[in-house]
Amino acid sequence: MWTTVLLLGLAVSVEPARIGLIALLLTRPRPVRHLFVFLCTGMAVSLSVGFVVLFVFHHGFLGKADFDPSLIQIGIGLVAVLLAGLLASRIPLRQLSRQPAAEVPAGAGAGVAVLEESAPPTGLKRLSTRARGFAKGESSWFSGSIGAALAMPSVDYMALLALIIASKSSPIAQASALVTFLLLASAAAVIPLLSFVVAPAKTRVWVQRFNEWIRTRTRRHAAAFVGVVGGLLIAVGASGL
C-alpha cells in the first residue's frame, strides 16, 4: 500500500494542470496568501471526501467483495501507462481551435469599427470580461476555487481509497496513508510556500527560473515520468500476486 501511496502522490504532484495553476499563483503579487488559501481549500475538500469514504461509507464503497490490493495497484499502473502513451502520441489534446477571422472587404473598416463601438456587449463577452477580472484580481476566492477544483475526487483518487480500504490496515494507518498522499500531491505548492516564508527574495528568482523551465517541457517529458510510475506500480502489484 505504502509504495503505491508514495508513487501516486509523486505522480499527481507533477500533473501539468496542477503545475501550471500553481505557477500562476506564484506570479501573483501576494503568492504566500494565494498558496496558503489554495492548500487549505484543497486539503479540506480532499480530506473530507477521503475520511467519509474510508470511515463512513467504506462498506458500501467496496461492498462485501474481497479485493486484492495487488490487482488495484496493477489497474492504476495500467491507467498510468495508457495516459503516458496518450501524452507521448501526437494526438492533439485540444480538439477545438479558433476559427480564422473572416476577411473584411476594402473600405468597410470604418463602418465595422463604428458598428462595433455602438453595439452593446453580449452576455458571453460580459461573462468573459468578468472572468478575466476575477482571475487577475487579488481576491482569495480565485486561489480557493482553484484548490477546490483540483481537489474534486478523480479516478486515481478513488482508486487509491479503494486500495487503502482493501489493505485492511488499522484506521490510524489508513488515515496516515491518505494524509501522506495528499501532502506529496501538494508538494509543488508546499515547497514554494515554505520557501517564500524563509527567503522571499531568493524564492522569486527561483520562481522565475521555474516558470521558464516549465515552458521548455514537452508532453514527452511528462509521458516519460508517468510511464515510469505506471511501470513501477505494475511491477509492485505483480510481485504481490
Domain boundaries, the chain: 2-90+124-239
- pLDDT tens-digit series, residues 148-201: 888 887 877 888 888 888 888 888 999 999 999 999 998 888 888 888 888 887
Work out the mean pLDDT of the chain and round it to a whole number. Answer: 75
Phi, psi (degrees; rounded to nearest 5) at 65: -75, 150
Phi, psi (degrees; rounded to nearest 5) at 29: -60, -30
Dihedral of CA 205/207/210/211: which sign? Answer: negative
pLDDT score of 60: 56
C-beta of residue 177 within 8 angstroms of C-beta of residue 1: yes
Q: Which value, in Å, is the radius of gyration of the alpha carbons in the chain?
A: 23
Predicted TM-score of the model (pTM): 0.67
List of the chain residues with pLDDT < 70 = 58-68, 90-139, 211, 214-219
Phi, psi (degrees; rounded to nearest 5) at 94: -105, 105
pLDDT score of 51: 92
What's the CA gap between 233 and 230, in Å, rounded?
5
* Cell output for 148: 477546490
